[in-house]
């Protein structure tokens, strides 16, 4: 995991569709070398995938919300199939604190969100926070590329 790898990761976080040649020019090495590095980074699981970031409001998903859930331990088994199946759940984390799960969701309207919350309450007590506005939108982590770092599996 040297400076070149970090430069590649930063560039791919900013624009995942950048060409190998463009990356090669920025890193002052050849395109085959870039290609080999990206293959390695992906095989090591450092690069998970590449995804287009969409503006969901323009696609009529006007409501974004965070839902906190006190997941009933007895219903844990049925919860994981549930969260992976509902496409409106963009993220789901098991966390410390009074509520054990945080879900990030998008819906067409508050009505549909309400229906979803009702379904979710089968799994435990919920607390919903609707998003007014977003100042930082799901951005990538800018890595310091002026020094090497050690990674778990190089």
Partner DNA sequence: GTTGAAACGACACACCG
Partner DNA sequence: CGGTGTGTCGTTTCAAC
Residues that bind a copy of itself (CB under 8 A): 1, 9, 12-17, 44-61, 64-66, 80, 83-84, 87-97, 99, 102-103, 106, 127, 129-143, 149-153
**Position among 6, 7, 37, 64 found at the interface with DNA (CB under 7 A):** 37
- Partner residues linked to 67 by β-bridges: 103, 128
Token reading at 110: 């508050």
Q: How far apart are CA 111 and CA 95, in angstroms?
A: 27
Token reading at 118: 């009702």
**Is 29 or 89 the residue whose CB approaches DNA more closely?**
29
Look at residues 68, 61, 52, 75 and name the one whose alpha carbon lies nearest to residue 110: 61
In the list 1, 12, 16, 29, the residue contacting DNA (rule: CB under 7 A) is 29
Tell me which residues touch DNA (CB under 7 A).
4, 19-22, 24, 28-33, 35-37
């Amino acid at each position: 995991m040297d400076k070149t790898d970090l430069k590649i990761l930063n560039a791919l976080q900013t624009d995942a569709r950048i060409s190998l040649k463009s990356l090669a020019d920025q890193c002052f090495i050849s395109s085959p070398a870039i290609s080999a590095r990206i293959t390695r980074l992906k095989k090591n699981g450092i690069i998970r995938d590449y995804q287009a970031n969409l503006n969901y409001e323009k696609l009529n998903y006007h409501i974004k919300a965070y839902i906190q859930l006190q997941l009933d331990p007895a219903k844990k088994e049925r919860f994981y199939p549930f969260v992976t199946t509902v496409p409106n759940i963009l993220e789901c984390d098991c966390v410390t604190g009074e509520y054990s799960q945080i879900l990030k969701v998008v819906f067409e309207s508050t009505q549909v969100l309400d229906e979803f919350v009702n379904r979710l309450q089968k799994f435990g007590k919920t607390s919903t926070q609707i998003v007014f506005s977003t100042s930082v939108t799901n951005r990538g982590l800018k890595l310091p590329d002026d020094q090497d770092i050690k990674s778990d599996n190089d």
